[in-house]
């Protein structure tokens, strides 16, 4: 039981659930209703969609494992009590699971791409796998690059669902159709939200892990630029997030989605403003950890807002 708990911790199972939930909500609360309004159906069958989710989750799990594998020296300093590798699970087994998850995830991705006749889409998972490897081995130790890569991958977990819809991949005419344009707009908004909020969390995590990162020679934003400039970057990103949410609220006010507006105000915008105040006062690792945890809740509440597309369609 202890080994199972350690393994689940190693693959960050709450994050994997979040990825699967994001794709599920996007497919069944956004893509399906939008297409239904145009008398169409999603390009992926339920089975193929489930396989796509499994593929994404497996690649992500492999990424979390390899990240911990190369972060052992940092974790010994930053979170020795929470370490799993070398304490419960050996590094050899970790690398074996990483390889297995990546191979399975990429293979399943190609199977789904082949089933819809767009085999090149399978390379999306190959790209994600490679980026996660280079992030763990190199990018995360360089200023800004690692933060951008992870944030792009977070956004890609949203966008990838749209990649498999013929309204997006089939032709320019399909893209310019009513359903195509609406899908691109909605997916684009959620992908932007995912990118921005993920960037904030990545910088906050760098602030939290400064001691261990500096001892391992990492050149993260707070180490290279300083704590105050790192915080200012987060303030700027949080402002972008507020503007994005305000634009969305104005847009959904036109058809009278007032319940959705109230939800965004109370459960996304207000907590994001609270994050700004918490971050301003934060100066210890535990303070930054609290901010990081709250950001995760904002990410979840933002993604759950997809339910309103199902309610109002």
Query: 7-24 pLDDT, tens per residue?
Result: 888 898 999 999 999 999
DSSP assignments along 92-156, one per residue: HHHHHHHHHHHHHHHHHHHHHHHHTT-GGGGHHHHHHHHHHHHHHHTGGGSTTHHHHHHHHHHHH
Task: Quote the CA–CA distance of 195 and 299 in Å, as a whole number.
Answer: 10
Residue 143 is predicted with a pLDDT of 87
Q: Is the pTM of this model over 0.85?
A: yes
Q: Are 282 and 235 in contact (CB under 8 A)?
A: no
Give the three-class secondary structure for 89. strand
Range of the domain at 263: 2-312
Render pLDDT for 185-204 as a digit per residue (tens, 0 to 9). 999 999 999 999 999 999 99
Confidence of residue 296 (pLDDT cuts 50, 70, 90): very high
Secondary structure element (H or E) that encloses residue 38, with its range: none
Number of domains comprising the chain: 1
């Amino acid at each position: 039981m202890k080994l199972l708990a350690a393994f689940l911790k190693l693959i960050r199972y709450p994050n994997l659930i979040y990825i699967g939930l994001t794709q599920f909500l996007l497919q069944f609360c956004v893509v399906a209703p939008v297409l239904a309004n145009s008398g169409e159906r999603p390009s992926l069958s339920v089975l193929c969609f489930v396989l796509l989710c499994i593929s994404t989750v497996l690649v992500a799990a492999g990424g979390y494992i390899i990240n911990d594998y190369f972060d052992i020296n940092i974790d010994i300093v930053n979170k020795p009590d929470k370490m799993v590798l070398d304490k419960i699970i050996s590094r050899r087994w970790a690398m074996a699971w990483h390889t297995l998850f990546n191979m399975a995830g990429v293979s399943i991705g190609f199977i789904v791409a082949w089933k819809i006749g767009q085999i090149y889409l399978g390379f999306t998972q190959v790209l994600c796998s490679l980026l996660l490897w280079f992030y763990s081995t190199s990018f995360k130790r360089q200023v800004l690059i690692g933060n951008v890569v992870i944030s792009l991958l977070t956004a890609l977990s949203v966008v990838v669902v749209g990649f498999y819809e013929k309204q997006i991949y089939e032709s320019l005419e399909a893209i310019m159709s009513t359903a195509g344009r609406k899908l691109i707009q909605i997916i684009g908004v959620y992908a932007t939200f995912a990118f921005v909020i993920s960037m904030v969390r990545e910088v906050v995590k760098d602030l939290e892990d400064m001691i261990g990162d500096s001892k391992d020679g990492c050149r993260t934003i707070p180490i290279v630029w300083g704590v105050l400039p790192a915080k200012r970057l987060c303030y700027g990103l949080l402002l972008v997030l507020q503007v994005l949410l305000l634009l969305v609220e104005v847009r959904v006010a036109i058809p009278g989605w007032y319940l959705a507006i109230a939800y965004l105000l109370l459960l996304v915008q207000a907590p994001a403003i609270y994050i700004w105040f918490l971050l301003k006062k934060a100066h210890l690792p535990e303070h930054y950890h609290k901010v990081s945890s709250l950001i995760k809740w904002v990410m979840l509440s933002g993604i759950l807002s997809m339910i309103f597309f199902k309610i109002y369609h």
